[in-house]
Copies of this chain bind each other. A is one copy, B any other.
Amino acid sequence: VLTVSEETERGVVERRFDLEVGGERVPGIHWLPEEPAAAHPTVLIGHGGTQHKRVPNVLGLGRMIVRHCGFGAVALDAPGHGERMTDEEREAQRALIAGRTAGPDGAPRLAASDPERRRRMAGAAAQAVTEWKALLDSLQLDDRWGNGPFGYWGVSMGTAFGLPLLASEPRIKAGVLGLGALREEDPRGRQLAESIRQPILFIFQWDDELMTREAGLALWDALGSEEKTMHINPGPHVGVPRFELEASVAFFKRHLSN
């Protein structure tokens, strides 16, 4: 792990770093309390599709976790996102978003059932899981946060990648997922959900234009976790109320505090 820069703003240290995974550079951010406890928990934050490691909701959540819990938080640019896009890809994404039917809030409708897109997403998910595991390996080398416990937060694409991550990663002790659904044509999704054991907070939007209510409820229902809570709010895909970030922070505080 190579530190690129480090700045401190109102009690929160923000360290830009690069992680090397299989020869590829994965840019990330580690938010830390300015005066951290000797050993403290860390929450991994997976951003949504078309987003990156420092979009406002990720940055806001990272800072809240540091300020309200005294934990650390880490975000990575997902494969093909943020600094990991060529100018060509960025242009193609803009065109893709502009060309899709907009939802009620102007957000793009991404056809999740498009087979070509699903194949690409599965490849990206496998790559993202490898990178999160490499990040955990690297975090474990430092006594200040190496003993965890670790949490994971990610909705939408962050849940598409979070499901295989939580299912295969016992180092992660609690997860916030959401804006995801169980599609009948995807039996692997059900298997993954059923194999998850960590406590889960699942956030869902009742008027999500990308999935049905039934498919969202079915994903939460399929989770194998003994403790799992679903929070439903009215509104479209890009419309999760800010108080759900506060609920996420309270959830991690309850499950990860040493």
Which chain B residue has the least Cβ–Cβ distance from A233?
Answer: B229
Most buried by B among A229, A230, A233, A241: A229
Within 8 Å by CB of A254, from B206, B221, B232, B243, lies: B243
Residues of B within 8 A of A98 (CB): none
Give the number of times this chain occurs in the complex, counting copies. Answer: 2
Interface: A92 (CB within 8 A): no
A191-228 CB mask vs B (1 if < 8 Å, else 0) is 00000000000000010000000000000110000011
Residues of B within 8 A of A231 (CB): 229-231
Binding site for B on A (CB under 8 A): 206, 220-221, 227-234, 241, 243, 246-247, 250, 254
Which chain B residue has the least Cβ–Cβ distance from A227?
Answer: B241
Complexed CA–CA distance, A220 and B232 (Å): 10
Residues of B within 8 A of A230 (CB): 230-233
Within 8 Å by CB of A228, from B220, B233, B246, B254, lies: B233
Q: Are A228 and B234 in contact (CB under 8 A)?
A: yes
Residues of B within 8 A of A233 (CB): 228-230
Residues of B within 8 A of A229 (CB): 231-233, 241, 243
Complexed CA–CA distance, A231 and B227 (Å): 13
Residues of B within 8 A of A206 (CB): 221
Complexed CA–CA distance, A250 and B247 (Å): 9
Q: Are A250 and B254 in contact (CB under 8 A)?
A: no
Write 8 A-B pairs (CB below 8 A) sorted by A numbering: A228-B233, A229-B232, A229-B233, A229-B241, A229-B243, A230-B232, A231-B231, A246-B254
A29 CB, nearest partner CB in chain B, Å? 28
Most buried by B among A228, A230, A232, A246: A232
Complexed CA–CA distance, A247 and B243 (Å): 11
Residues of B within 8 A of A221 (CB): 206
A220 CB, nearest partner CB in chain B, Å? 7
Which chain B residue has the least Cβ–Cβ distance from A244?
Answer: B229
Complexed CA–CA distance, A241 and B226 (Å): 12
In addition to A206-B221, A228-B233, A250-B250, 5 A-B residue pairs with Cβ atoms within 8 Å of each other are A229-B231, A230-B230, A230-B232, A230-B233, A247-B250
Residues of B within 8 A of A247 (CB): 247, 250
Complexed CA–CA distance, A243 and B231 (Å): 13
Residues of B within 8 A of A234 (CB): 228
Which chain B residue has the least Cβ–Cβ distance from A220?
Answer: B232
